[in-house]
Amino acid sequence: MKGRRLIYLAMIVAVSVPVLLGFSLPPSRLVSAERMYSVVDEMQVNPGEVAFVWLDFGPGTLAENEPQAQVLLEHLFRRRIPVVLLSQYQQAEAALQRIPKEVAESLEREMPGQRWAYGEAWVNAGFRPGGQIFIQALVNAPDLSKFLGRDVGGMPIAHYPNFSTIGGVEHVKLVGEITGLVGVLDNIIQFFQKGGYRPTLVHGCTSITIPEAYIFVDSGQLKGLLEGIAGAAWYSEVLKQHHPLSDNSRLLVVNTALSSAHVVLIGLIVLGNIVALWGRRSRRPNG
Amino acid sequence: MGEPLVVTKQPTDRRAQIIRVCTFLGGIYFFLYWLVPEKFVEAIGLTERHESISNGFIAVGAMAIGLGLFNLISAHGDRIVFRKQGWAYSLALLLGLFSMLIVTIAQWQQGLATTAEVRKSQVIGEFAQRIVEDSEKGASVPPLPVRVEALRRYTGERLAELDATTLAAGGSDGPFQDEVRSAASSVRLSLAGLSAVGGDALSPEGKQALIEVAKAGGKLGATESTLLRNRSAATTVHQLYRFLYDGVFNQLGAAMFALLGVYIAAAAYRAFRIRSVESALMMISALVVMMGQISLGQLISDQLPELRQWLLEVPNSAAFRAIRFGAAVAGLMLAVRMWLSIESKSFSSGKGQ
Amino acid sequence: MDSTTSWGLYTVFVGGLGTLAIFSFLIKENPFYRFFEHLFIGIAAGLGPMLVVRDFLWPNIIEPMLGRTITVYPDGTTSAPYQPLYLLYLVPMLFGCLYYFIYSRRYSWLAKVVIGFTLGASGALAIRGFFGEVIPQITGSFKPLVVMDQGSFMLAESLNNILFVVTLLLVLNYFFFTFGREGSLQGKAAPLGRPLLMVCFGAFFGSTVMARLALLVERVQFIVIDWFAATKTLLGLG
């Protein structure tokens, strides 16, 4: 019991030190995040076309999914691609409201005189229950602005000029799914398709689902992947290379704390094996 | 000679049949919508109705929202009333439940009131746009001068109301108020152009003037919405909602899951041991993935992230895909059996019948 | 969270207090932990149903039924005529109310009718979803074992594809229990799938570690930076 508490303490100290010192190391280069950056950066978007970004996460996976949502939205906002935000998960409400607002404010601070206003840069269509049933109805709707109806504030989405003429699902140029939940990415992969239309789908996943997400990258169903905090950190680094004023310092500190915790955990695994080996040797009868 | 054997259907059989038929009917619509060619679906007018039908399906499930509430209230209410062990915790649970219910309802009502207020301004732009569309379509509506006069009168009244209420209040939202004032001035200016709309037919100048009103009205609605939402964010109801949602719900949820961060370390120390070739392979794979995704791995060698990438893309993807195929085929079989009520005796019969 | 206002400060403070209460479980279970645990469940249970009403039932079902989505313009005309067909929404709503018969001993079978209906819809959608998801996976598995690029042989890509296909087949074979295992080639090859699965599970463990630790980092960051600052301000030390 005492030993277990020592392990807990070691982990908390390992995480706290970089956070307290504000110390950061460059993130690991993740190719999948780089590919996703290229997909978003090279996407051709005409007037009337939009990106749909699903934020399907609550407090349980906020730690990993929030930085992913931030970097993806920052990139889309920089490119002035109108974003429709929505969720299949009721606990995502706070994220839907707070994250785009914070990203817009950060960009406005970086570029005084420019604005990323609600209704122009993004709309929040809120929590939409029904999962598969909702998505299959959405892709079959002839006019997405009308189908989505009102935003969370009760305003008709069609009322905002950038979102008034979306039309059918063919005008959704990018679909982003940021989630740590089981099944919600499957809902998009299975049902967000109509006739010959397949979306350019990018995915921000929690680390626990990385191995599973790779099978969709291999099959081409996913065009880009952000792998946990590490993926978001590398994406933010690529953003910074292209936009030097982009501020990713807090994310890099988090990523460094994560590295520090990894090192302690690897050390614990090695120690555990040494102790076990030592125990086996000492139990072995002499001669 | 014994009594002739008479086979009668038990009520339980009939009920089981009803359940089976309903289970089948629940799936047939979506199945056919998928199978039937799109052109046929359009021809029978189902495309326009599909959204409403889908909403109907969601509504069936949505009606179950009270089940959880009812269960929690009855179970924990019982513990409080009869002072059973842990009743104080049940009280905390019900306190949280009712506080959240009440505050969410209050915040929702506040949102509805704000929306209704903003709608009054939005109508200006929408109505102007509608006049143009109706004139072009030749719809049977009141004569153009009557409609334009109604628009002018309504807009004047609304702008006066805005000045007297929304814009009269002081506060820290000066920049937002300025935006609404500027939008209101644009609406006033655009109204002046309505004198170009004369006669029963809509002239190009008249159309342009109405479009200007529509644009200015739209801007007014948007700016007023931002102002009122900013104001409602400062109300006690909203702050209470944020307190419960951000301060308690979000933080506790995140903390519960964060416990796993230390548990996995303890578990790794105690259980992740090399005992065979297979466990060694698992260990190597885990170490490569862990080192490849952290800053330190990159500092040790540039090859580590690449090795991790290869491991995830090639052997991991192949093995996981095989697992996924198995799960998907099993899922398909389960779905078919579920839909057609094959081997669902445990579901369609029982005590309750 | 906005910690510049007094409401914001208290929100952060209580959030930190709750986090510490939950973390106190690491020492041992205690009343402080159990109180916040129950509070969390209560708030989650209160929030969920209200969001379904606020974000779905009200705007998508009840408002159209009541004709509240129709705007009356200043000249008395309307944005759209009232659609009496929306009243048909009462049918699924009443049907959905059958769920509540689960509390009746005599009529609980009626709840099974609506549960069956919902399961039927999910089943049919799952059949459709299977094809949407799995077909590209199957076609994506047919990889060329000899990769040529502009006439030249690509050794690394070819080896990767061979490894991919072999791994896929061996792991599929490992899970194949239906017939003819013992003595057959298929049965002999089955154990080869195990080590490959272990590589996959290792990757899974490595990824899980990052997921779990990320949650811990976020909480520690909140306590160390946001909560300490808010507490100092509230105590008049900052």
Contact A215 B295 (CB under 8 A): no
Chains near B with 3+ CB pairs less than 8 A apart are A, C
A285 belongs to a structural domain: no
Domain finish residue from B90, B124, B154: B90
Distance of CA C133 to the CA centre of its chain: 17
Closest alpha carbon to A58 in A33, A88, A102: A88
Q: Which of A139, A198, A88, C114 is nearest to B34 (CA)?
A: A139
Continuous segment of H or E residues that includes residue A53: strand A50-56
Query: The tokens of C34 are what?
Result: 């159990």
Chain B environment of C68 (Cβ under 8 Å)? none
Q: Is 50 exceeded by the pLDDT of residue B352?
A: no
Averaged pLDDT, B138-147: 86
Tell me if A266 is assigned to some domain: no
Q: Which helix (H) or strand (E) holds A19?
A: helix A2-21
Average pLDDT in the A111-128 region?
92
Q: What is the mean pLDDT of residues C183-208?
A: 87
Nearest CA in chain C to A13: C220
Partner C contacted by A118 (CB < 8 A): no
Please give the pLDDT value at position B77. 95
Instruction: Kindly state the average pLDDT of the residues A130-143.
Output: 91
| Domain assignment present for A176 | yes
Whether C183 maps to a domain, the answer reads yes
pLDDT at A177 over 70: yes
Residue B304 lies in a domain: no
Give yes or no for residue B349 having a pLDDT over 80. Answer: no
Q: If you count DSSP H runs as helices and E runs as strands, how many of each does chain A have, helices first?
A: 10, 6
> Does B245 fall in a domain?
no
Mean pLDDT over residues C49-66, rounded?
92
Torsion angle of C-alpha atoms C193, C198, C203, C204, degrees rounded to 10: 100
Q: Does C139 touch chain B (CB under 8 A)?
A: no
* pLDDT-above-90 percentage for chain A: 75
| Cα–Cα dist B335/C122, whole Å | 8
Contacts of C56 in chain A (CB under 8 A): 127-130
Distance CA B114, CA B227 (A): 10
Section C57-62 average pLDDT = 93
- Give domain status of residue B185, yes or no: yes
- B41 and B161 in a single domain? The answer is no
Residue A196: pLDDT over 50: yes
Q: Do residue B59 and residue B127 come from a single domain?
A: no
Question: Bridge-partner residues for A124, per DSSP?
Answer: A85
Q: Which residue has the tokens 């969270």?
A: C1
Report chain C residues whose CB lies below 8 A from the CB of A219: 136-137, 139-140
What pLDDT was estimated at residue A195?
Answer: 82
Residues A152 and A86: their CA atoms lie apart, in Å, by: 10
Contact at CB, C213 and A261, closer than 8 angstroms: yes
Determine, yes or no, domain membership for C5: no
For residue range C145-189, what is the model confidence (pLDDT) as tens digits? 998 888 898 999 999 999 999 999 999 988 887 766 677 777 788
Question: With 50 as the cut, is the pLDDT of residue B353 above it?
Answer: no
Tokens of B189: 């200016």
The shortest CB-CB distance from C171 to any of B146, B244, B322 is to B322
CA distance B114 to B202: 35
Dmax over CA atoms of chain A, in Å, equals 87
Instruction: Quickly list DSSP for A95-160.
Output: HHHHHHHHHHHHHHHHSTT----BTTTEEEEEE-TTTHHHHHHHHH-S-HHHHH-B-TTS-BGGGS
pLDDT at B323 over 70: yes
The nearest alpha carbon in chain C to A60 belongs to: C215
Same domain, B60 and B86: yes
Q: C200 and chain B: CB distance < 8 Å anywhere?
A: yes
Say whether residue C191 is in contact with chain B using an 8 A CB cutoff. no
* Same domain, yes or no: B59 and B116: no
Q: Provide the pLDDT for residue B310.
A: 95
Report the gap between the CA of B181 and the closest CA in chain C (Å).
23
Q: What is the pLDDT of residue B258?
A: 92
Answer whether B22 sits within 8 Å of C117, measured CB to CB.
yes
Chosen from A155, A222, A271 to mutate, greatest number of chain B CBs within 10 A: A155
Confidence check: pLDDT of B12 > 90: no
Residue A53's nearest CA partner among A176, A168, A174 is A176
Q: Report residue C120's pLDDT band, with 50, 70 and 90 as the boundaries.
A: very high
Q: Is the dihedral of CA B285, B287, B293, B296 positive or negative?
A: negative
Residue B74, Cβ neighbours under 10 Å: how many? Answer: 10
CATH number at residue B162: 1.20.120
Higher pLDDT, A226 or A282: A226
Q: C109 and B268 in contact by Cβ < 8 A?
A: no
Spatial distance between the Cα atoms of B222 and A157, rounded to a whole number of angstroms = 11
Is the pLDDT at C2 greater than 70? The verdict is no
Question: What is the rounded distance in angstroms from the CA atom of residue C218 to the CA atom of residue A254?
Answer: 7
Percent of chain B surpassing pLDDT 90 = 57
With cut-offs at 50, 70 and 90, classify the pLDDT of residue C4. low
Q: What is the CATH number of the domain that holds A203?
A: 3.40.50
pLDDT tens figures, B38-62:
888 888 888 888 989 999 999 999 9
pLDDT digits (tens, 9 = 90+) for A145-173: 989 988 887 788 888 888 988 889 999 99
Chain C residues within an 8 Å CB radius of A265? 209, 213
Alpha carbon of B1: minimum distance to chain C alpha carbons (Å): 39
The answer to whether residues B53 and B115 belong to one domain is no
Task: Answer yes or no: do C133 and A130 touch at CB < 8 A.
Answer: no
Do B50 and B112 lie in one domain? The reply is: no
pLDDT in tens, B115-136: 899 999 999 999 999 999 988 8
Residue A189 domain-assigned (yes or no): yes
pLDDT of residue B42: 86
C236 in B contact zone (CB under 8 Å): no
Question: For C216, which of A5, A11, A227 is closest by C-beta distance?
Answer: A11
A191 closest CB neighbour out of C132, C220, C221: C132
Task: Find which of A1, A90, A136 to mutate to test the C interface (most C CBs within 10 Å of its CB).
Answer: A90
CB-nearest partner of B55 from C53, C61, C217: C61
Beta strands in A157-223 (DSSP E): 172-179, 200-205
The residues, ordered by sequence, that sit 6+ positions from A61 with a Cβ below 8 Å of its Cβ are A179, A180, A181, A206, B257, C211, C215
Q: Nearest CB to C217: which of A63, A180, A209? A: A63
Give the pLDDT of residue B5: 58
Based on the fold, state whether residues B35 and B115 are members of the same structural domain: no
ipTM score assigned to the predicted complex = 0.89
Give the residue numbers spanning the domain of B130: 104-234
Number of domains in chain B: 2
User: Is the pLDDT higher at B348 or at C159?
Assistant: C159
- Per-residue tokens: C158: 């070819």
* Predicted local distance difference test score (pLDDT) of residue B47: 83
Residue B7 has pLDDT above 80, yes or no: no
What's the pLDDT score for residue A156? Answer: 84
In a domain, B306, yes or no: no
Distance, CA of C20 to CA of C35 (rounded, Å): 12
Whether residues B141 and B199 share a domain: the answer is yes
Q: Could you give the CA distance from residue B178 to residue A231 in angstroms, rounded to a whole number?
A: 42
pLDDT of residue A1: 61
Instruction: Give the gap in angstroms from C-alpha A68 to the nearest C-alpha of chain B.
Output: 15
In chain B, which residues have their Cβ closer than 8 Å to the Cβ of C75? 127, 141-142, 146-147, 150-151
Task: Using alpha carbons, select from B307, B328, B146 the residue that is nearest to residue A29.
Answer: B307
Number of domains within chain A = 1
Supply the pLDDT for residue B158.
Answer: 94
* Residue B249 DSSP symbol: I
A interface mutation test: which of B57, B231, B262 has the most A CBs within 10 A?
Answer: B262
> What's the per-residue H, E or C state across chain C?
CCCCCHHHHHHHHHHHHHHHHHHHHHCCCCHHHHHHHHHHHHHHHHHHHHHHHHHHHHHHHHHHHHCCCCCECCCCCECCCCCHHHHHHHHHHHHHHHHHHHHCCCCHHHHHHHHHHHHHHHHHHHHHHHHHHHHHHHHHHCCCCCCEECCEECHHHHHHHHHHHHHHHHHHHHCCCCCCCCCCHHHHHHHHHHHHHHHHHHHHHHHHHHHHHHHHHHHHHHHHHHHHHHHHHHCCCC
For A31, other C-beta atoms within 10 Å of its C-beta total 16
pLDDT of B295 above 70: yes
CB B166 within 8 A of CB B236: no
Q: Does C69 touch chain B (CB under 8 A)?
A: no
Label residue B70 by pLDDT band (50, 70, 90): very high
Going from the C-alpha of B22 to that of each of B138, C23, C52, C99, the distances in angstroms are 48, 48, 25, 14
Q: Which pLDDT score, from 0 to 100, does residue C175 have?
A: 85
B248 and C39 within 8 Å at the Cβ level: the answer is: yes
Q: What is the mean pLDDT of residues A82-110?
A: 93
Predicted pLDDT of residue A149: 87
- C55/A126 CB distance under 8 A: yes
Strand C148-149 and strand C152-153: pairing?
antiparallel
| Domain assignment present for B339 | no
Which is it for the CA torsion C103, C109, C112, C114, positive or negative? negative
Beta bridge partners of A54: A86, A177
Q: Which residues of A fall within a CB distance of 8 Å from C213?
A: 11, 15, 258, 261-262, 265
Q: Which of B246, B255, B322 sits opposite C1 (nearest CB)?
A: B246
Q: Is the dihedral of CA B218, B221, B224, B228 positive or negative?
A: negative
Does A261 contact C217 at a Cβ distance shorter than 8 Å?
yes
pLDDT of residue B9: 59
Looking at chain B, list the stretches that DSSP marks H as alpha helix, in order from N- to C-terminal side: 11-35, 38-43, 46-62, 65-81, 87-137, 144-164, 174-192, 204-232, 236-242, 251-271, 277-292, 295-300, 303-311, 317-339, 345-348
Number of domains within chain C: 1
Interacting residues of A228 by C-beta distance below 8 A, sequence separation 6+:
A64, A205, A206, A207, A210, B293, C207, C210, C211, C214
- Judging contacts by C-beta atoms under 8 Å, the chain B residues touching residue C105 are 352
Nearest chain C residue (CA) to B282: C202
Residue B264 to residue A265, Cβ atoms within 8 A: yes
Mean pLDDT throughout A226-238?
95
Strands A172-179 and A50-56: parallel
**pLDDT at res. B351:** 47
Domain assignment of residue C181, given as a range: 143-220
Note whether B54 contacts A136, CB cutoff 8 Å.
yes
Which residues of chain C make contact with B26, given a CB cutoff of 8 A? 116-121, 123-124
Domain that holds residue A241: 27-246
Contact B229 A141 (CB under 8 A): no
Does A233 score more than 90 pLDDT? yes
Counted residue by residue, chain B has a size of 353
Q: Which helix (H) or strand (E) holds A267?
A: helix A249-283
- Which residues of B are less than 8 Å from A26 in CB distance? 295, 298
The mean pLDDT value of chain B amounts to 88
SS3 state of residue B7: coil
In C, minimum Cα distance to B67 occurs at C100
Is residue A99 in some structural domain? Answer: yes
- What is the interface size between A and C, counted as CB pairs within 8 Å? 138
Which chains form contacts with chain A, at 3 or more CB pairs under 8 Å? B, C
Task: Read off the tokens for C55.
Answer: 């974000």
CA dihedral of A268, A269, A272, A276, whole degrees rounded to 10 = -170
CA atoms within 13 A on the CB side of A98: 15
If asked whether residues B41 and B135 sit together in one domain, one would say no
Neighbours of chain C (3+ CB pairs under 8 A): A, B
Look at residue B348 and tell me whether its pLDDT is greater than 60: no
For residue range A10-51, what is the model confidence (pLDDT) as tens digits? Answer: 999 999 999 999 999 999 999 999 999 999 999 999 988 999
Contacts of B229 in chain A (CB under 8 A): 153
Amino acid B102: pLDDT:
96
| Tokens at A66, concatenated | 């929030």
Dist. CA A55–CA A58, nearest whole Å: 9
Whether residue B163 lies inside any domain: the answer is: yes
What amino acid is encoded at C54 in this protein?
R
Q: Which DSSP state fits A223?
A: S
Q: Do B273 and A272 touch (CB under 8 A)?
A: yes
What DSSP string describes B172-233? S-HHHHHHHHHHHHHHHHHHHGGGG--SSSPPHHHHHHHHHHHHHHHHHHHHHHHHHHHHHT
Does residue C231 lie in a domain region? Answer: no
pLDDT digits (tens, 9 = 90+) for B73-117: 999 999 999 999 999 999 999 999 999 999 999 999 998 999 899
Q: Indicate whether B167 and B63 sit together in one domain.
A: no
Cross-strand partners of A227 = A205
Instruction: Identify which of B26, B251, B348 has the shortest CB distance to residue C15.
Output: B251
Interchain pair B317, C164: CB under 8 A: yes
List b or e across C188-208, with b for residues whose CB sees 16 or more CB atoms inside 10 angstroms: eebeebebbbbbbbbbbbbbb
- Measure the CA–CA gap between B275 and B277, rounded to whole angstroms: 7
Residue C29, in any domain of the structure? no
Q: pLDDT value at position A178?
A: 97
Beta sheet of A224-227, edge-to-edge order? A122-127, A83-87, A50-56, A172-179, A200-205, A224-227
Q: B192-217: per-residue pLDDT in tens? A: 888 877 777 778 888 899 999 999 99
pLDDT at position C88 over 50: yes
